[in-house]
Amino acid sequence: MSGTSDTYLGMPAFPAAARDAVRNETLRENLRHATHTIRDKRAKAVAELDDWALLRAAGRDVKERTLRHLDHYLLQLEESVTAAGGTVHWAADAGEANRIVTALVKQTGQSEVVKVKSMATQEIGLNEALEAEGIRAYETDLAELIVQLGDDRPSHILVPAIHRNRGEIRDIFAQRMGSWGRPALAGLSDDPAELAEAARVHLREKFLRAKVGISGANFMVAETGTLVVVESEGNGRMCLTLPETLISVVGIEKVVPTWQDLEVFLQTLPRSSTAERMNPYTSMWTGTTDSDGPRTFHLVLLDNGRTDTLADEVGRQALRCIRCSACLNVCPVYERAGGHAYGSVYPGPIGAILSPQLRGTGSDVDASLPYASSLCGACYDVCPVAIDIPEVLVHLRERVVEGGEVTRNGERVTIKPAKGHTAERAAMRAARWVLDHPGALRAGQRLASRTRRLHPKRLPGPGRAWTDTRALPEVPAESFRDWWQRTRGGAR
Amino acid sequence: MNGSVSGGASSSRERVLARVRRALADVPRDERPRDVGVERGYLRVHGDRTAEQTVDLLAENLADYRALVHRVDAAGLPRLLKRLLAAHGSRSVLVPPGLPSEWLAAADPAVVPDREADTAYELDTVDSVVTGCAVAIAETGTIVLDGGPDQGRRRITLVPDHHICVVRVPDQVVRSVPQALERLDPGRPQTWISGPSATSDIELNRVEGVHGPRTLEVILVGGGSERQAPSVR
Ligand code: SF4
């Protein structure tokens, strides 16, 4: 990662960060409430579709096909976007993506941009890079606005300001809106409707005058060149249609082969994410259209560690992720530790496998992330593209403690085992943190049966000292919870 | 890390593509994308419904996401539009270029045609917008606009605070997302709308209308006479 994203560098390893979160009772209560509410609603939304398992398998297959032939689909995408009037740029890393976007904004002569929530631009630290060049980036998603005004970091993929109460949000709006634009009216209360109205008024002024919009995308269709943004509030539509210039920064893994493939993800994403049959707004655009929407469209295709991840045959599956956040909401560790402890824009189970692959396992926090899990397997069960997160976690643990061949910045390198290194201590502490939190561990035995073929005779790394003197308990053929789920009568 | 300051954009393209190809060394060279199977055993539609039941489901799902749903026959449409605009207190109504003129023949508000030269600020002063749609999806309660002449540019259904969308039933109604995609042209810009704009960012409380129209009314125009849909709030 290049310098602009150092918001997260120097982060303490997972256990230290998690310890603070566990002490913060407000945060824990908010998280518990949020994750349980969304998770229960999701289960209902999923149960409405009796072909869920088949949709999930198709989603996995489509993404697998794409990844195995990513060069083919990227070239096809480039051709169709260009044919539709867009311009495609390629960025090997964060620094390059930031330079491209900054130059494009400067070409327009503008010094401010409106942004719709985009994890890719957070990952590369685009706002800070623009700021350094005198360009102000306004986040327009309500939660991102709360985070930005509060000089804070997002803590959840879907509800980034979930760690904030309405009272805190009121204070942030009352104190900070004025220095970013239109101030909140005097006497603002903490009523959610009134707070949303304050955001509407504050942001509308920005939308109406904006000349440049910046977005990410949920999907890019190779055969047609269509980009898709899925959202709720309408700030996405504002950023995608009102400005004259639109710049979309999208990870190369977001491509899908065909228009028809959208039928899978437009059914699985909203239900997995917000537990809705469909999210309120979905925008789709193909290049530029006369007099409807931006006259200039730029697509910046971002690598930034994705090809390194692709090179790992086990870890590759993390690139199937459609960022629905379902895995966060079922994760007992995330529920207690909170999003910030993961030291990355990608928190929760997906963050625990994605960040160490995108960034390598060189830092304390990245080396500890594969241990920030009880391996209970709930994340795998809910994942709409069937990413076997526990499998990748075990694989990454092995990499941390045993070292071996990996790809970094496109080159094959051999990393040393973490033995004696701070990373091992970090990992050890993370493992212990999980072991010390019975709730986080409760469903742990599920992994054993799910991954029987992967189950080692001896635990790798930090667990080894322990198993050296004890035989690892026999793995039951099926855990009680699996048996219960299987026999309860086919909820889905 | 060193970016492509000296190398220029095309070298990054080659670099990323080369990395992708190197990363996929395990993929047999003669494997074609189509060789990677995609099991499409999932359903084209969920459940067994007549055309009429499908329209009922659409009404139900639209209302579930807090759109206000109305049903009317073609003859009653102008009167219903007049009534809804009056009830909303609208003094001006924006119309796309191809909206049938008889729809608003009875309405009182000033009709504002959408013009390319109009700025977003000008759109912001209009009270309501009336459009048709490209297709409506019953299973999800979604209306899809694709910029057709009776729907206009994407921005006109975004900036005003009140959107009335007219759906011709049963012709414009499909049952499922797969059926909708089959009917739509990817070359046209699309907006899929399921209920009015909403957020749950503040303690997971649902609040409607952060940026898009706070009120979405959907009129299902069919054979029957004017009546409220059963599940309107
Ligand atoms: S890993 Fe799966 S469940 Fe988690 S965010 Fe990605 S797609 Fe959703």
The tens-digit pLDDT sequence of chain A (492 residues) is 333 333 444 567 777 777 777 677 777 777 788 888 888 889 888 988 999 999 999 999 999 999 999 999 999 999 999 999 999 999 999 999 999 999 999 999 999 999 998 999 999 999 999 999 999 999 998 888 888 898 888 777 777 787 888 888 999 999 999 988 888 888 899 998 899 889 999 999 999 999 999 999 999 999 999 999 999 999 999 999 999 999 999 999 999 999 999 999 999 999 999 889 999 999 999 999 988 999 999 999 999 999 999 999 999 999 999 999 999 989 988 888 888 888 888 999 999 999 999 999 888 888 889 988 888 889 999 999 999 999 999 999 888 888 889 999 999 999 888 766 666 777 777 777 777 776 665 544 444 444 434 333 443 333 344 334 333 333 344 444 444 444 443 333
Average pLDDT, chain B: 90
Window 180-209 of B: residues touching A by CB (8 A cutoff) are 181, 186-205, 207, 209
Residue A353 alpha carbon to ligand 1 centre in Å: 11
A163 lies in some domain: no
Are B196 and A280 inside 8 Å of each other by CB?
yes
Which B residues, 79 through 108, put their C-beta within 8 Å of a C-beta on chain A?
none
pLDDT value of position A425: 74
φ, ψ of residue A131 in degrees (nearest 5): -55, -45
Whether residue A322 has its Cβ less than 6 Å from ligand 1: yes
Please give, rounded to a whole number of angstroms, the shortest distance from the CA of B173 to a CA of chain A.
Answer: 16
Provide the phi-psi class of B224: left if phi over 0, else alpha when psi is between -120 and 50, else beta.
Answer: beta
B170 prior amide bond cis, ω within 30:
yes
Q: Does residue A260 lie in a domain region?
A: yes
The verdict on the CB of residue A274 being under 6 Å from ligand 1 is no
Q: Which domain holds residue A87?
A: 14-140+211-306
B38 and A CB contact within 8 Å: yes
CATH code, domain with A240: 3.40.50.10420
Exposure letters A128-141 (e unless 16+ CB within 10 A, then b):
ebbeeeebebbbbb
The token pair that represents A75 in the structure block: 């070239």
What does the pLDDT read at residue A32?
83
Separation in Å, CA of A402 to nearest CA in chain B: 21
| Domain membership flag for residue A243 | yes
Question: Please, how many CA atoms are within 13 Å of residue A18, restricted to the half-sphere of its CB?
Answer: 28
Nearest CA to ligand 1 atom 8: A324
Residue A410 Ramachandran class (φ > 0 left, ψ -120 to 50 alpha, else beta): left
User: What is the per-residue pLDDT for B54?
Assistant: 97
Block residue for tokens 């499409």: B40
In this prediction, the answer to ipTM > 0.95 reads no
For A65, which of B12, B38, B153 is closest by C-beta distance? Answer: B38
The chain B residue lying nearest A91, using CA atoms, is B12
pLDDT: which is higher, A480 or B50: B50
A273 CA: nearest ligand 1 atom: 8
Q: How far is A242 from chain B (nearest CA, A)?
A: 7
Q: Which residues 220-279 of chain A have a CB within 8 Å of chain B?
A: 221, 224, 226, 232-235, 237-238, 240-242, 252, 257, 259-260, 262-264, 266-267, 274, 276-279
Contact by Cβ (8 Å): B135, B189? no
**Distance of alpha carbon A441 from alpha carbon A460, whole angstroms:** 18
Q: Which of B199, B214, B218 to mutate to test the interface with A (most CBs of A within 10 A)?
A: B199
* Of the residues A261, A290, A306, the one at which a domain ends: A306
Domain boundary among A258, A280, A306: A306
State if residue A325 touches ligand 1 by the CB under 6 angstroms criterion: yes
Flag whether pLDDT at B233 surpasses 50.
Answer: no
Largest CA distance in chain A: 73
**Same domain, yes or no: A301 and A433:** no
The residue written with tokens 């008024």 in the block is: A201
Could you tell me how many residues make up chain A? 492
Cβ neighbours of A63 in B, within 8 Å? none
Local structure of B41: helix, strand or coil? coil
Residue A469, exposed/middle/buried by CB under 10 A (0-12, 13-18, 19+)? exposed
Domain count, chain A: 2
Among A306, A338, A372, residue at a domain's last position: A306
Judged by CB atoms closer than 8 Å, whether chains meet at B211 and A266 is answered as: no
Domain B51-228 in CATH 3.40.50.10420:
yes
CA A350 to ligand 1: nearest atom: 1
A286 and A426 part of one domain: no
- Cβ–Cβ < 8 Å for B146, B110: no
For residue B5, how many other CB atoms are within 10 A of its CB? 9
Q: For residue A283, is it within any domain? A: yes
A430 and A294 both lie in a single domain: no
CB contact under 8 A, A410 and B192: no
Strands B190-193 and A281-286: antiparallel
How do residues B14-34 score in pLDDT, each as one tens digit?
999 999 999 999 999 999 999
Cβ-based contacts under 8 A for chains A and B: 274
pTM of the model: 0.89
- Report helix angle A422-435 to A14-23, nearest 10: 40
Nearest partner of A243 among A216, A209, A218, A282, judged by Cα: A209
Domain boundaries, chain B: 2-35, 51-228
Residue window 50-89, chain A: list those with CB within 8 Å of chain B. 50-51, 54-55, 57-58, 61-62, 64-65, 68-75, 84, 89
